[in-house]
Amino acid sequence: MNYKEKEIANFPGYTIDTDGNVWSRKNNKWGLRKEYKRLKLWFSHGYPHVSLYKDGKSYKKKVHHLVLETFIRLRNENEETRHLDGNRKNNSLSNLAWGTAFENGQDRIRHDTRHYGIESPIAKLNEIQVRIIKKYPEKNCMNIYRFLSKIFCVSWSTIRAIRTGYNWRHI
């Protein structure tokens, strides 16, 4: 793929290239500079972001969205960005595609970047606690779900999901 650079729609004075670098001619006080300056990236949840300014207001943008929206098309409803090599930091156009949540999930399985159990950033239980919940001798019923949920400080639906095998299947 050839290197290209385009102006970012709705943000005059900003351009982005096919490698995911964002450039600015903006100057806070006197309008536009003669030369472009590469913007510094900041990261949130492992994804590179930039701050773009328009009419005195700051807009936080994910770099991978800017690349696809500038060079491919705007995102349709229910679409996600797919990183084809599994690397969130690689925002080159050749590594990005719009896709469904299902396709993105399949990519995470293929790249082994899917988080299970305690590796998940939203996990509230560890493997020992899950083993205790699964081996608790009583049959599945609402009273047991509520009892265990109070012990482990999670919702009764979390306990049910563990005991029925919906969550934490790998334990």
pTM: 0.69
Q: Are 119 and 139 in contact (CB under 8 A)?
A: no
- What's the confidence (pLDDT) of residue 35? 77
The letter for the amino acid at 154 is V
Domains recognised in the chain with CATH numbers? 5-111 (3.90.75.20), 118-163 (no CATH)
- What's the confidence (pLDDT) of residue 37? 87
DSSP secondary structure letters along 59-76: EEEEHHHHHHHHHT-PPP
Give strand ranges (E) for the chain: 5-7, 14-17, 22-27, 31-38, 42-44, 47-54, 57-62, 80-83, 96-99
- What's the confidence (pLDDT) of residue 123? 76
Burial of 25 (C-beta count, 10 Å sphere; 0-12/13-18/19+): middle
Alpha-carbon gap, residue 49 to 60, rounded angstroms: 7
- What's the confidence (pLDDT) of residue 142? 83
Q: Are 124 and 154 in contact (CB under 8 A)?
A: yes
Q: Tens digit of pLDDT per residue, the chain (171 long)?
A: 567 999 999 998 899 999 999 999 866 566 666 678 899 999 998 899 999 988 889 999 999 999 999 999 999 999 999 999 989 999 999 999 999 999 998 998 888 876 666 666 667 888 889 899 988 887 778 888 999 999 999 999 999 999 988 888 877
Taking 3-state DSSP, the helix, strand and coil percentages for the chain, each rounded to the nearest 5, stand at 30, 25, 40
| pLDDT tens-digit series, residues 35-54 | 788 999 999 988 999 999 88
